C-alpha cells in the first residue's frame, strides 16, 4: 500500500523545462506525476522503483495482474530492457515516437521492476510522441511506467482537469500539456513466437500496422498470446450506454457521428465529428462521454460508427463501456 497521505495538493506543472524539472524531482523521490501523452494522460512513476510502481496500482485501484506499459526516450533506451524481433524493429522504425506499444521478451538483465510487468516474462514498451513526455523522458532518462491516469475502470483522461477530477488528491502533480491530440490509447502489438498479434486496437489503425508488417492476428480472450487488460467492462461512464442507435428517447442524450445526426436530438447531445472524420471522433470520444455522463441522463445512445481505420478502436472502447459484465 502507498504510505502517502490520503489528501494532498496536486501540483499543476507547466509543460516547459521548469515544470519538467519539478516533475523530475517528484519522480526521483518515488512520487507519481500524471503526464500528457499524445494518446491519453498517463500516471507516471519510475519503472525501476518498486515503491513507485506499487503506488500506481494502489492509487488507481488497478488489479495486480494487469501489467503496465513502460515509456522510453527512444528505441535504444527501450532495447536495453526487451529483445525486438525483425517485425517489432520495423514497427518501431515506422511508428515511434507514437501511439504504438510493443510487448516483447524482457531481457534477463533488465532493471525494470517485476511489479511493472506483474512478474510476466514480457514487458510492454512504448516511445510516446507528446513533446512534454519526450522532454521529461529525454532529460531524465528514467523509464516511466504509466497506465492511463484514471481510477481503474473509468473513462481515460484526455485533459489535465480530467486527471485532477479522478486522482487529484492522490498524486504529487500533473504536467498540463493541454488536450491529448489522438485521444484514444496506444495500439498494443505482441508476438506469438515471431508472429504478430494485435492485443488492443488503438491510435495506430490495424490497416497501418498491416501495411508495415503484413497480416496480424487479432487476439481474443482465448488466444495463446493475450493481454491481461482485456477486461470486458472498462472505460465506462456511469450512465448506461446503448450502441448503434438511430434515435434517442425522452430523458436520453445522443452521441452522434457524421452529418446525419437527427435534427431533433435531445438538447445537450453531442457529435463526435460532424464531417464524419474518425480521427476527430477518436480525439473526442472520452471527453464527450465524460461531458454527457455529467448530465445525469437516463441513458446515452451512440450512433453507429464505421469499423474501419480508427473506428475499430472507437467501437472497441464503446463496446467495453456499454458492457454489463
Residues near ligand TXA (CB under 6 A):
37, 39-40, 42, 66-69, 99, 101, 103, 117, 120, 122-124, 126, 146-148, 185-186, 188, 190, 199-200, 227-229
Q: Which does 78 bind (CB under 5 to 8 A by kind): Mg ion, ligand TXA, none?
A: none
148 near Mg ion, rule: CB under 5 A: yes
Which span sits near Mg ion by CB under 5 A: 147-155, 198-206, 254-262, 304-312? 147-155
Query: Nearest approach, Cβ of 5 to ligand TXA (angstroms)?
Result: 25
Q: Please choose, from the candidates 47, 15, 53, the residue with its C-alpha nearest in 3D space to the C-alpha of residue 143.
A: 47
- For residue 96, the minimal CB distance to ligand TXA (Å) is 12
Q: Among residues 181 and 229, whose Cβ is nearest to ligand TXA?
A: 229
Size of site (CB under 5 A) for Mg ion: 1
Residue 15 or 202: which CB sits closer to Mg ion?
A: 202
Judged by beta carbon, residue 87 or residue 200, the one nearer Mg ion is 200
Q: What are phi and psi of 103, to 5 degrees?
A: -100, 115
Three-class secondary structure of residue 196 per DSSP: strand
Residue 229 interaction partner, one of ligand TXA, Mg ion, none, beta carbon < 5-8 Å per kind: ligand TXA
319, β-bridge pairs: none
Q: Of 30 and 42, which CB lies nearer to ligand TXA in the complex structure?
A: 42
Q: Which is nearer to ligand TXA, 180 or 254 (CB)?
A: 180
Binds 273: which of ligand TXA, Mg ion, none (CB < 5-8 Å by kind): none
> Which residue has its beta carbon closest to ligand TXA?
229
Nearest distance in Å: CB 111, ligand TXA:
16
Query: Which residue number has the CB closest to Mg ion?
Result: 148
Residue 88 dihedral angles phi and psi, to the nearest 5°: -60, -40
Piece of the chain touching Mg ion by CB under 5 A; list 141-149, 169-177, 190-198, 294-302: 141-149
Say if residue 97 is preceded by a cis peptide, omega within 30 of 0: yes
Closer residue to ligand TXA in complex, CB, 79/242: 79
Shortest approach of ligand TXA to residue 71 CB, angstroms?
6
103/228 Cα distance (integer angstroms): 12
Distance of CA 210 to the CA centre of its chain: 21
Alpha carbon separation from 235 to 92, 105, 140, 177, 293 (Å, rounded)? 27, 28, 31, 22, 12
For the chain, how many helices (H) and strands (E)? 9, 15
User: Could you tell me if 197 and 225 are in contact, meaning their C-beta atoms sit under 8 angstroms apart?
Assistant: yes
User: CB of residue 189 vs ligand TXA: minimum separation in angstroms?
Assistant: 10
Cβ 283 to Mg ion, closest distance in Å? Answer: 17
Cell numbers of 313, please? Answer: 478502436
Q: Which does 158 bind (CB under 5 to 8 A by kind): Mg ion, ligand TXA, none?
A: none
DSSP for 211-273 reads HHH---EEP-TTSSS--TT--SS-SB-SS-EE-S-S---TTEEEEE-STT--TTPPTT-EES-
- Under 8 Å between Cβ of 186 and 99: yes
Which spans in 99-159 are helix H?
131-140
User: Smallest gap, in angstroms, from Cβ of residue 101 to Mg ion?
Assistant: 12
Question: Phi, psi (5° rounding) for residue 306?
Answer: -60, 145
> Considering beta carbons, is residue 148 or 322 the nearer one to Mg ion?
148
**Run of H or E residues at 19:** helix 17-28
The nearer residue to Mg ion, 148 or 239, going by C-beta atoms, is 148
**Chain residues that interact with Mg ion, rule: CB under 5 A:** 148
Amino acid at each position: 500500500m502507498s504510505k502517502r497521505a490520503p489528501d494532498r495538493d496536486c501540483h499543476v506543472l507547466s509543460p516547459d523545462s521548469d515544470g519538467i524539472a519539478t516533475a523530475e524531482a517528484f519522480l526521483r523521490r518515488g512520487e507519481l506525476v500524471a503526464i500528457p501523452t499524445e494518446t491519453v494522460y498517463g500516471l507516471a512513476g519510475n519503472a525501476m522503483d518498486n515503491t513507485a510502481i506499487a503506488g500506481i496500482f494502489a492509487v488507481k485501484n488497478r488489479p495486480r495482474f494487469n501489467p503496465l506499459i513502460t515509456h522510453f526516450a527512444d528505441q535504444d533506451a527501450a532495447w536495453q530492457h526487451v529483445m525486438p524481433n525483425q517485425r517489432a524493429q520495423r514497427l518501431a522504425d515506422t511508428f515511434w515516437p507514437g501511439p504504438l506499444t510493443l510487448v516483447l521478451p524482457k531481457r534477463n538483465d533488465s532493471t525494470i521492476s517485476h511489479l511493472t510487468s506483474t512478474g510476466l516474462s514480457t514487458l510492454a514498451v512504448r516511445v510516446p510522441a507528446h513533446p512534454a513526455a519526450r522532454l521529461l523522458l529525454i532529460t531524465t532518462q528514467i523509464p516511466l511506467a504509466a497506465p492511463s491516469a484514471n481510477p481503474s475502470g473509468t473513462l481515460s483522461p484526455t485533459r489535465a482537469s480530467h486527471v485532477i477530477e479522478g486522482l487529484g488528491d492522490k498524486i504529487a502533480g500533473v504536467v498540463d500539456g493541454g488536450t491529448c491530440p489522438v485521444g484514444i490509447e496506444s495500439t498494443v502489438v505482441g508476438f506469438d513466437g515471431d508472429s504478430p498479434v494485435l492485443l488492443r486496437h488503438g491510435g495506430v489503425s490495424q490497416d497501418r500496422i498491416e501495411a508495415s508488417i503484413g497480416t496480424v492476428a487479432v487476439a481474443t480472450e482465448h488466444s495463446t498470446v493475450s493481454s491481461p487488460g482485456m477486461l470486458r467492462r472498462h472505460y465506462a461512464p456511469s450512465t448506461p450506454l446503448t450502441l448503434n442507435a438511430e434515435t434517442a428517447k425522452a430523458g436520453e442524450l445522443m452521441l452522434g457521428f457524421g452529418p446525419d445526426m437527427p435534427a431533433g436530438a435531445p438538447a445537450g447531445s453531442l457529435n463526435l465529428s460532424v464531417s464524419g472524420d474518425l480521427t476527430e471522433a477518436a480525439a473526442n470520444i472520452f471527453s464527450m462521454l465524460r461531458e454527457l455522463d455529467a448530465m445525469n441522463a437516463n441513458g446515452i445512445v451512440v450512433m453507429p460508427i464505421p469499423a474501419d481505420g480508427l473506428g475499430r478502436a472507437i467501437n472497441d472502447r464503446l463496446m467495453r463501456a456499454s458492457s454489463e459484465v
